[in-house]
């Protein structure tokens, strides 16, 4: 599965708006993840996950920044996320189902913050892009 030129354009152009709010987007995405899919919390026993927590904010920023790295190298996501892919495979070992949960929560957050930009085309492009990101992050699992 790879992105068409049109899909890449949509993602890169939306990213320029998203990148002005990475903290808010990241925090909200994780809040949604942990509210809707409490099993995801099992990977963070060492974190304070309450709304407003500094750790939640910091981690949310990190996650969105990584998505941003993928956007900036949209023609070669595997290369941009290679280190993160190894981290997830050998250290974090997050069950792959959680990437679907996180991707869904990011889409919900984007839809909520950018209702006009999040057209059906944009929804399709982002769903596909996050699916590619998820594949890259799990590709070294076995």
Partner 1 sequence: MLTAEEKAAVTGFWGKVNVDVVGAEALGRLLVVYPWTQRFFEHFGDLSTPDAVMGNPKVKAHGKRVLDAFSEGLKHLDDLKGAFAQLSELHCDKLHVDPENFKLLGNVLVVVLARHHGGEFTPVLQADFQKVVTGVANALAHRYH
C-beta of 36 vs 65, nearer to partner 1: 36
Q: Which stretch binds partner 1 (CB under 8 A): 12-20, 33-41, 53-61, 81-89?
A: 33-41
**Residue 109 in the binding site for partner 1 (CB under 8 A):** yes
Report the distance separating Cα 125 and Cα 134, nearest Å: 14
Shortest CB 100 distance to partner 1, Å: 9
Shortest CB 92 distance to partner 1, Å: 23
Q: Which stretch binds partner 1 (CB under 8 A): 40-48, 58-66, 85-93, 117-125?
A: 117-125
**Residue 84 in the binding site for partner 1 (CB under 8 A):** no
C-beta of 91 vs 120, nearer to partner 1: 120
Cβ distance 40 to 34 under 8 Å?
Answer: yes
Contact flags string 37-76 toward partner 1, x per CB under 8 A: x---------------------------------------
DSSP result, the chain: ----HHHHHHHHHHHHHHTTSHHHHHHHHHHHHHHH-GGGGGG-TTS--STT-HHHHHHHHHHHHHHHHHHHTTT-HHHHTHHHHHIIIIII---THHHHHHHHHHHHHHHHH-TTT--HHHHHHHHHHHHHHHHHHHTT--
Q: Which residues bind partner 1 (CB under 8 A)?
A: 28, 31-32, 34-37, 104, 107-109, 111-113, 115, 118-121, 123-124, 127
């Amino acid at each position: 599965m790879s992105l068409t030129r049109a899909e890449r354009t949509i993602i890169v152009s939306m990213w320029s708006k998203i990148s002005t709010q990475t903290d808010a987007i990241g925090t909200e995405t994780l809040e949604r993840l942990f509210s809707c899919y409490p099993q995801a919390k099992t990977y963070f026993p060492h974190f304070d996950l309450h709304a407003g927590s500094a750790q939640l904010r910091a981690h949310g920023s990190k996650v969105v920044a990584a998505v941003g790295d993928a956007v900036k190298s949209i023609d070669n996501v595997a290369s941009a996320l290679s280190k993160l892919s190894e981290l997830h495979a050998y250290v974090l070992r997050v069950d792959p189902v959680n990437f679907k949960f996180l991707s869904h929560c990011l889409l919900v957050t984007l839809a909520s913050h950018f209702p006009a930009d999040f057209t059906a085309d944009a929804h399709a492009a982002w769903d596909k892009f996050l699916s590619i990101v998820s594949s890259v992050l799990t590709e070294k699992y076995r």
